[in-house]
Amino acid sequence: MAMAMSDSGASRLRRQLESDGFEARLYVKQLSQQSDGDRDLQEHRQRIQALAEETAQNLKRNVYQNYRQFIETAREISYLESEMYQLSHLLTEQKSSLESIPLTLLPAAAAAGAAAASGGEEGGGGAGGRDHLRGQAGFFPSPGGASRDSSGPGEEGKQRTLTTLLEKVEGCRHLLETPGQYLVYNGDLVEYEADHMTQLQRVHGFLMNDCLLVATWLPQRRGMYRYNALYPLDGLAVVNVKDNPPMKDMFKLLMFPESRIFQAENAKIKREWLEVLEETKRALSEKRRRGQEEAAAPRGPPQVTSKASNPFEDEDDGEPAVPEAEEEKVDLSVEWIQELPEDLDVCIAQRDFEGAVDLLDKLNHYLEDKPSPPPVKELRARVDERVGQLTEVLVFELSPGRSLRGGPKATRRAVSQLIRLGQCTKACELFLRNRAAAVHTAIRQLRIEGATLLYIHKLCHVFFTSLLETAREFETDFAGTDSGCYSAFVVWARSAMGMFVDAFSKQVFDSKESLSTAAECVKVAKEHCQQLSDIGLDLTFIIHALLVKDIQGALHSYKEIIIEATKHRNSEEMWRRMNLMTPEALGKLKEEMKGCGVGNFEQYTGDDCWVNLSYTVVAFTKQTMGFLEEALKLYFPELHMVLLESLVEIILVAVQHVDYSLRCEQDPEKKAFIRQNASFLYETVLPVVEKRFEEGVGKPAKQLQDLRNASRLIRVNPESTTSVV
């Protein structure tokens, strides 16, 4: 019974989901309102999922049931299509046969007419014979009609042959619509892959008088082909491929931007293909040359009306008008001009960019200061098409997707030819984009070493060397061009510097390196950046502007570390003299204090290994002077106030603690010891800090002077026993 209820619920759910007015959003909303809790929703979800799986299984079962019928139907369709093509071929042959019958019977009819005429004259039956011939002549075209169509029987035969052959090729009906087109040569070929010389497919070539059609074999229909490609002969270059057994009897067709290699059946057929291709190209070129000459030839002078018939003509105006075509005549029959489009195609296909641009310069120089009649405009249109193709190839050569090896000099060839084509702005943009991709790739390929300083040395060497080479190559390529290109280079250099700083900051500042390591890394970057000044490029201000936030953050973080450490030592301060236990330790401390700039530290040492200073004050002195030295390595004017304020905050923590301890201490001996430490801070440490800051920055700091000259930095309530710090 439960199963019956489950089946009825599933069928009801299915009907609800299959209803026309079903809305998923409304259904889910109602379901959420009607459910008692999460368990009901889970059960409903399981029911829907089970229903979906059941539907999928039913659909799969139906597909499997109909699969055989699909295959049989497809096979029947294929058979029917094959029969239709055979029927079409038979009809075409019948049509050709019927068209050839009148041409065959025409000479016999003419001979019969002549015999009837002579018999009529002799036997008196001439009228009947002539009438009989006149009745038959209506069934055949007259010889005069053929000449009026400007195509004799030979042309019609060529057209019929082309039609018959192309009926066997799928997808090329549009070729039959070209007037004057006929088949010159055709044959089977085998296509090979250009790089690895592996066999690709069998093809059939149809050479027309103005183009080459390539069709692929259809294995399932013998003698039928499928359209593959069509190449105009004026954009086609033929190259003989030297035999290299087992690869022999091959030739290459070059068509921008691709090339294809074909193999003939034997050496004889290969030679025929090469010869007929060249002859057909030459005939097409000659035909177009004659057409241009006829178009450029001067027309006859206009008919001059007599003065008698034109009473409004001025009697004094007797000069004949100069024919307009004579003024616009430009000699385009020169051989190199006729072959220019084909030569450009060959140069582009063979990547002879310099030769292509030389030909264009030669043409521009020849047509300079000459008029532009229609033949010249037509020639320029054909040449402009090749210029566009050449530009596309050069742009592709500079694209970031190409190999970036070889450095900036590898781009010089394409850049120089683009500049010669008048594409200076595009050449500049593509060159800089290419170099940006190269720099980005070089930075990404750097291995991140364990030692940060070692990685930064490699990063700076790679980046600034690339930047220097790019700048020198840019100056070489774009010398004498528009000065706007140099502005574009400066903008690019700033962008590249941003890429460098991102990698630099990620390794130095984001990894929370010590201030000394960060200072060394920034120093290395500055030294490499100054190398660019050799070519007149100063980017120091850019690297300062890009690093200022990171350096500020590093100074702030290290300042907080020093303040926290100082406060911790202050909380444990017992105001006792330091006992270094060994003379070696005392000598080491003297050297450290001397390195910090404290030259009179001897007066604070006592007998044996004692130092008449507190451990807290000595540690503060070493830490503060170390912070100052590292900060001065990072210093540039934008960080002046940040560094000064950090120093003041650090010093205030120490002097406030000494001042508070001096006011709160009751023991006379400890009070005297505290005064001695305070004297060391005010009279020795602060002057050293002030002097070193002035040496590193180049100007004194008034805040440090005020801090040293004040006898009490913070007034503390004498009755209070708590620190103000």
pLDDT of 327 above 60: no
Q: How far apart are CA 76 and CA 81, in angstroms?
A: 9
Q: What is the mean pLDDT of the chain?
A: 77
pLDDT of 128 above 50: no
Q: Encode 164-183: b = buried (16+ Cβ within 10 Å), e = exposed.
A: ebbbbbbebeebeeeeeebb
Question: What is the predicted pLDDT for the residue at 483?
Answer: 61
pLDDT of 23 above 90: no
Q: How far apart are CA 445 and CA 405, in angstroms?
A: 13
Local confidence band at 308 (pLDDT 50, 70, 90 cut-offs)? very low
pLDDT of 400 above 70: yes
Is residue 394 a contact partner of residue 349, using CB atoms and an 8 Å limit? no
Work out the average pLDDT over 415-423.
85
- Reduced to 3 states (helix: H, G, I; strand: E, B; else coil), residue 185 is strand
- Reduced to 3 states (helix: H, G, I; strand: E, B; else coil), residue 451 is coil
Question: What is the predicted pLDDT for the residue at 116?
Answer: 44
- Could you identify the residue written with the tokens 């400007």? 150
Question: What is the predicted pLDDT for the residue at 306?
Answer: 42
Work out the average pLDDT over 86-95.
75
| Sign of the four-CA dihedral 20, 21, 23, 28 | negative
Work out the average pLDDT over 620-643.
86
pLDDT of 449 above 80: no
pLDDT of 367 above 70: yes
Helices (H) and strands (E) in the chain, counts: 24, 10
Q: How far apart are CA 283 and CA 696, in angstroms?
A: 84
Q: How far apart are CA 66 and CA 55, in angstroms?
A: 17
Strand ranges of the sheet holding 237-240, from the earlier edge strand across to the other edge:
169-170, 225-232, 211-217, 199-208, 183-192, 258-263, 250-255, 237-240
Which of 1.10.287, 1.10.533, 1.10.700, 1.10.357 would CATH assign to domain 546-715? 1.10.357
Percent above pLDDT 70 for the chain: 78
> 458 exposed, middle or buried (CB, 10 Å; 0-12, 13-18, 19+)?
middle
Neighbours of 213 (CB within 10 A): 22
C-alpha torsion angle, residues 39, 41, 42, 47 (rounded to 10): 130
Is residue 330 a contact partner of residue 361, using CB atoms and an 8 Å limit? no
Work out the average pLDDT over 652-672.
85
Both structure tokens of 175: 């070729």
pLDDT of 6 above 60: no
Taking only the tens place, the pLDDT of each residue in 682-695 is 888 888 888 888 88
Rounded to the nearest 5°, which phi and psi values hold at 284?
Answer: -65, -40
- Could you identify the residue written with the tokens 């020198």? 472
Question: What is the predicted pLDDT for the residue at 115?
Answer: 45
Which of 1.10.3720.10, 1.20.58.1210, 3.40.50.720, 3.40.50.800 would CATH assign to domain 336-512? 1.20.58.1210
The angle formed by the CA atoms of residues 442, 444 and 449, to the nearest 5 degrees, is 105
pLDDT of 20 above 70: yes
Q: What is the CATH number of domain 168-294?
A: 2.30.29.30
Q: How far apart are CA 300 and CA 129, in angstroms?
A: 50
pLDDT of 82 above 70: no
Residues 6+ apart with CB under 8 A from 322: none
Domain boundaries, the chain: 28-87, 168-294, 336-512, 546-715
Q: How far apart are CA 618 and CA 573, in angstroms?
A: 12
Question: What is the predicted pLDDT for the residue at 112?
Answer: 47
Neighbours of 82 (CB within 10 A): 15
